[in-house]
Amino acid sequence: MLYNIKYKMKNRLPSLDLLKILAIFLIVVFHASYKGIPTFVVDSLGWVNQAFYYIFYHFGELGVNLFMLITGFFLVSSTSVKKNKIIKIILDVYFFAIFSVVLSLVFKKYVFHIQDLFPITFTYYWYVTGYLIIYILSPFINKFVRGLSQKQFQKLLFILFILFSFIPTVAGLTTGSTEDLGFYNRFVWLLFVYLAGGYLSVYRGQLSLMNSSVKKLLIALYKLLLFVGAFAIFSYFAQINTRFFNIPPNYFWGPNSVVIFLISILLFALFYHFKIPENKFTALIAQSTLSIYLLHEHPKFLFILWLDIFSFAPFYYSKKLFLMVIIYSLVVMLTGVLIHYFKKYTFDRLTGYFLFKCNEAKK
């Protein structure tokens, strides 16, 4: 039973901070490719650039899975919710939502919608909305899994994996997507990944995966990544779109595809094995990942970011195209880090004083 755990999880592990940085980089690179290179342009890029495009396409949801695995790994032992954390995340969302609207106005491309006033409710940042729901429910979820034996926990994860990963991956071969089945949605998937991360945390001392050698993990990762690349290239040339099967080059990109899920688990286990010393620089960037995400993903600003500010148009038919995707993505990440720390010592301090200090004074 989970009650038998005799140790407490540290607040953070340097190696998983590094994994968070990799995860946000993968997400930004995916968005840069997906949003910055219009669909109607892709077919004319040439097969090398197209191959990179479809390979990079898989990065986004891989990053999402990694973030939720890390969340489940650390949060599974929690028994309560911090109200201040919820308020802070909501304030962060509104800060970057307003920032994005202002930038859209500067570029004269803003059109008001009532949903703009409620970015969390209307999932402008779908991952943050899902994360907040899971965080609020986490004491109840954790209490439930604490009552399970290891075998029961395994059975639960196995059933959820079959329902929301294996079946959609097989059935999706007919529709071209692993996310088209009615009983599946992104929130359900995030909940499953949260539970998987919790399982890896609780039983990490007993799991062969978490105790495998780095070499074995790297070989397994290499094979899966090679498969994704080879599949993307094969599917591109085969053009499989028939009455019975529709298999695009980016077929496995969905977070619930068996391939992306397995790569996520292997990457998590690999980074968990890394024994690296605490590094302030790494920790500073890792703490900025939410700001980086919020900066570049607002629906009113993201196309301005990738089509106007960082335009890839001059590089569509160049060998430098995906080098520029990486460079621009790194610039966006650096900008997110700088804004995060500017906000931390201005906006955060101001709102923190009025919301938290004033409440303490009233008491």
Show me where the domains of the chain are located.
2-362
Q: Residue 219 phi/psi, 5° resolution?
A: -65, -45
**pTM for the structure as a whole:** 0.92
Q: Directed axis angle between helix 186-202 and helix 150-161, to 10°?
A: 150
Contacts of residue 68, defined as CB under 8 A and 6 or more positions apart, other chains included, come to 131, 134, 190, 193, 194, 197
What digits encode the pLDDT tens for the residues 287-338?
Answer: 999 999 999 999 999 999 999 999 999 999 998 999 999 999 999 999 999 9
326-354 residue pLDDT tens = 999 999 999 999 999 999 999 988 888 77
The secondary structure of residue 166, as a DSSP letter, is I
For 229-269, the pLDDT digits (tens) are: 888 888 888 888 888 888 998 899 999 999 999 999 999 99
Quick: pLDDT tens for 180-233. Answer: 988 999 999 999 999 999 999 999 989 999 988 999 999 999 999 999 888 888
Cα 82 from Cα 48, distance rounded (Å): 48
